[in-house]
Structure 1
Amino acid sequence: MARQPMSTHARLSMPRRVGFGFGDFGFNIYYTGLNLFLLYYYTDVLGIRPALGGLIFAIPLVWDAVTDPVMGVIASRTQTRFGSYRPYILFGAVPLAVSFVAMFAAPLIFPGAVLASAIITHLLFRTCYTIVSIPYSALSAKMTQDSGERGALAGVRMIFATLGGLFTVFMTLPLAAHLGGGDMKLGFLFVSIVYSILATGIFYTTFATTVEQGGLGQPKHVSWSELVHLLSRNRALLILISAVVIGAVGGNIFSKALVYYVKYASGLNLSVTTALVILTASVSVGVPIWMVVSRYLPKKTVWMAGAGIAISSQCILFLLSIPSVYGFLTVIAMLGIGNAAFYVTFWSMLPDTVEYGEFRSGLRDEGLVFGLNQLALKAATGIGIGILGFLLELIGFTANQDQSQTTIDGIRTISILIPILCGILSVTLISLYPISKPLHARLVTAIDWRNSRRDQT
């Protein structure tokens, strides 16, 4: 579908919403597989030391710091008959799939250089992921300027994201065991091939069913100093990204450490897959609930309410000994429902910062905004997993062995107390977020008026 003009406030059709949101199912096949299982794959399948496994996640942060904002700027300045962002979804889907498979194939192809091959292929995957995911995220700012419609887009996107995460959590370990015939190295490789084929088909569907507005102008070719000025004037974006980094560091530590907590420290007759499925499924249940709530409450209020539920659930896990599997899973479900508020609100708050920055600086560059956001999310992942790997090493964790009581206590502290502290700090920051739905509507009107005056002169 070629790019075509449409009203910046027109209601998006359901096929457009679903087509856009469906893309995040594909991204979460990759992202959930990467975040929840890759460190486990490195430590428990390949036998890499936890600190080195965490280092593999941390090293690409330096590379991401360059590629993510640069990719955002490049994408926003791309002009084709397909638009600015959709071509990257179309042409980047296959390289992304190949790079994902390479992460699991390279250690088998080069058994004498497992660590080097893991680092190189991880860097390759992160680069390909940047090329596709940043344009996809920025696409929401080009589909509509209406804050309410963006909220609906974010909600549909998060429904598919959580479904993709649930699918990956439920299928990965059992499918790896089945396809590998007991050899988990081969099993993870075959799973990566299946997931890559599925994700590629999903991205093609997203490309075919979305369209970019023709009514929004292309960003001007401005200098890097002007881009820095744009960011310095965008207080809303800086607050949002800061809250996201801190909150997501805690969230990543919890979700990755949950594998180790259930396996080694919980003392419960509970499989890792069951715990992860309940956590992800509860997010899926929470998303439509918070979508309805967000119609009546400000976005940051919804964020803070959900965070309150999540933090309270983590406090219960940390302070109380829960001897029952059902009691443990109930608390995990409460945590997931609370976390769902973040996913609904964040992805509708981020596009609104584009107009906030445009009004205050006179410059518009949604690609840069979403590129920096992608960097923030990756930084949170890398920092969280890097900290987790280092701390597991520090407390004496050894994979696939019974752990000492000191190590078990350390796993509990790492997986629960650190995320609680990060969550509290994140909520404190987001309370300062300045954009409301009425304010955003006034900003859009003012920008339209200013642009029309400029065109007349």
Structure 2
Amino acid sequence: MASTSKKAASKAAHSDVMQEKFVESKEFRMFCLAGLGQGMIYSVMSSYISDFYTNVMKLPLIFVLLLMLLARVWDAINDPLMGMIIDRHTTRWGKMKPYIVFMSVPIALLTFLMFYYPDLDKTDLMIYAGVVYVLWGMIYTAADVPFWSLPNVMTPNPNERGNLISVARTFNGIGSAVPMALYLVAGLVLPGLCAKMQASDNDLVQAFFNKFTVVVGNTINYDKMKYILIAVFAAVIGVILYVSSYPHVKERVVIPDKKAVKGEPSQLSRIFKCKPLILVIVMGILSSGRYMLQAASVHVARYAVYIGGDLSTMTGLERSEAISKSIGTVSTILSVCSAVGMFGAMLFMPALIKKFNYKQIVVTTCTLGFVASLLTSLVGYFVVAGKLSFFICIPFLIISAVPLGVLNVVSYAMIADSLDYMEWETGYRETGLGSACQGFVNKLGNALATAGIIVMYLAIGLNPEQMLAKEAAVAATDLSMTMRYAMFSLISIVPGISLLLSTIPMKSYDLVGEKMEKITFELAEKREERGIHIG
């Protein structure tokens, strides 16, 4: 009788975990604002680094391709290593929080250096780009893995954790749109500003103009100036928002550090034996093509679609300005479509999570994204051929971007649920290493998307260095129909196929419904028995 009463009381206490709110409102807001700042910094790299390397620095395409892929090989070592460090060490400031402060200045500095174009010969320029890119990836890992591990220790309530991740990822997405908005503004403002700077008698103005522009004949290319201004803004404002969360975030779920014990499975082996976690990782890798919707937008704007007047009737300066405005307008439209689809999905995620499980949401939205991408590809053929307006693609592009928002939220929540499963089954919770896997998948996805773009350049024989040596600006209409449609496929059928493939591993994912509820209740009981503190 007493045993029955004890079990009933225990069940009631553990059910409270599913209902109780642990995260304070200000703490919630500051964590989300930090996510916004982080999104600004990451978006500069993920959206524009391929364009900067290929069309501004004019680095060899093969070099850029190898850099992206080899850097990910290093990340395969670096990211898990960072996760292990987090899992094995707790400082007096906490397990995750110290990295928010210590990594903020280095990541801001490296973001600036990544988009700074030094006066070096081609070989030295490749060395510079390679070193800065790899260092940026390492420091970003040291900032990203602990930050997105925080929801695991901020609350033991999986529902509250899912909501926190959902809202924070939404803010992160908003932050990622800021550099895109700045790109449009720069495209509209810089042509006139650069013309005035060129005519200025001020030595400092002339020095700045000469450093960050390229003049070929009567045309001005100001891409260097555009990117350095965007990078500085995103780095400074992004880091301020990111680091401001430090005093407000609290680590409540205090799990003792795990030391390696001879004869016990290693941390990595526990990761590989956690089937739900592996399925989420495979899903993330297979869906890598979705990153092209953002990463390829500038490339498509440069070499697939032109919006503007007849270039053949324009002078050199007029032509340069018209091409620049077209690139800015088209890339912004693509970015806005991506943002609308992504943010729309993310805003509805809290409501969707209450009605459907993660598996249902992923399979449905990714299938929808594939259908929309297929329609974009069909309509896009006639758009590129000049028979239909580019604006007809907008609704299809928006729908195809819905999975971006869904996966941006759900993947992190599913990782957290998988770590609950691991702790429930083995007694070990590799929070840092599990989050590192998600960080690695994100970087791998962006690298594969960038690699896909570079491979497309090589496949169709598109060489920016040769073209831009003759003119400061090249229009999409200067290319053949085949080349233009091939570039357009980077935001249509290619990401669509990737989304469809990502649904395959979800067929075996089963951390849903009653099984997940059982894990939550029993895990709370096991934590209580082990004396794990939640405060």
Equivalent residue, structure 1, for 2:508: 432
Task: Check whether the contact 1:268–1:324 (CA below 8 A) recurs between aligned residues.
Answer: no
Q: 1:135 to 1:15 in 2, by over 3 A?
A: same
Q: Which residue of 2 aligns with 1:302?
A: 361
Q: Tell me, in whole angstroms, the C-alpha distance in 1 between the residues paired with 2:377 and 2:390.
A: 16
Which has the higher mean CA deviation after the structures are superposed, 439-448 or 96-105? 439-448
Which residue number in structure 2 is paired with residue 4 of structure 1?
A: none
Relative to structure 1, is the Cα distance of residues 99 and 455 closer, same or farther in structure 2, using a 3 angstrom cutoff? closer
1:189-230, CA deviations, whole angstroms, 9 ceiling, x for partnerless residues? 233222211112112212122110144333344569422331
Residue type of the alignment partner of 1:260:
H
Specify the alignment match of 1:38 in structure 2. 49
CA separation in 2, counterparts of 1:455 and 1:443?
18
Superposed structure 1 runs of 4+ greater than 6 Å apart: none
CA contact 1:76–1:85 (8 Å) conserved in 2: no
Measured after TM superposition, the shift of residue 120 of structure 1 is 0.7
Give the aligned residue type for 1:67: N
User: 323-332 or 221-230: which moved more?
Assistant: 221-230
Give the alignment of 1:93-104 within 5 angstroms: 93-104=104-115
Change (3 A) 1:301 1:222: farther
Deviation at 1:419, TM superposition (A): 1.8
Contact 2:412 2:438 in 1 (8 A): no
Q: Please tell me whether the aligned partners of residues 229 and 361 of structure 1 are also in contact (alpha carbons under 8 angstroms).
A: no
List gaps (5 residues or longer) in structure 1.
1-6
Given the alignment of the two structures, is residue 384 of structure 1 paired with residue 460 of structure 2, yes or no? no
| CA–CA separation in structure 2 for the residues paired with 1:184 and 1:284 | 28
Measure how far apart 1:251 and its partner are.
1.1
Does 1:66 pair with 2:105?
no
Cα separation, 2, equivalents of 1:416 and 1:49: 26
Kindly state the Cα deviation for residue 313 of structure 1 after the two structures are TM-superposed: 1.2
TM-score, normalised to structure 1, is 0.91
Aligned partner of 1:277 among 336, 352, 356: 336
Distance 1:47 1:164, change over 3 A: same
Give the distance between the partners of 1:423 and 1:143, measured in 2 at CA.
Answer: 32
Q: Which of the numbers 484, 488, 503 marks the counterpart of 1:408?
A: 484
Provide the rounded CA distance (Å) in 1 between the counterparts of 2:305 and 2:531: 65
Task: Determine whether 1:366 maps to 2:440.
Answer: no
Supply the distance in 1 between the matched residues of 2:531 and 2:147 (Cα, whole angstroms).
Answer: 30
Q: Within 5 A, what are the aligned runs for 1:32-431?
A: 32-105=43-116, 107-112=117-122, 113-172=124-183, 174-175=185-186, 178=190, 183-222=222-261, 225-247=265-287, 249-266=288-305, 271-320=330-379, 321-322=382-383, 323-399=388-464, 400=474, 402-431=478-507
Shift in alpha-carbon separation, 1:453–1:210, aligned structure 2, 3 A: closer
2:245 maps to a residue whose letter is T
Shift of 1:16: 2.0
Give the count of matched residue pairs: 448
- Is 2:153–2:254's contact at 8 Å kept on the other side of the alignment? no
Q: Which residue of structure 1 aligns with residue 202 of structure 2?
A: none
Structure 2 counterpart of 1:75, one-letter code: I
Q: Scaled by the length of structure 2, what TM-score is found?
A: 0.78
SS at match of 1:83: coil
Greater mean alpha carbon deviation, residues 277-286 or residues 196-205 = 277-286
Residue 3 of structure 1 aligns with which residue? none
Q: 1:437 to 1:206 in 2, by over 3 A?
A: farther
More displaced 10-residue stretch of structure 1: 57-66 or 277-286: 277-286
* Larger Rg computed on CA atoms: 2
Once the two structures are TM-superposed, the CA of residue 8 in structure 1 deviates from its matched residue by 6.3
Answer whether contact 2:338 2:401 (CA < 8 A) is retained. yes
Identity of aligned residues (%): 18
CA distance in 2, matches of 1:8, 1:108: 55
Deviates more, 1:223-232 or 1:88-97: 223-232
Q: CA deviation at 1:240?
A: 0.3
Q: Distance in 2 between matches of 1:161 and 1:214?
A: 24
Alpha-carbon spacing, 1:222–1:183, altered in 2? closer, same or farther (3 Å): farther
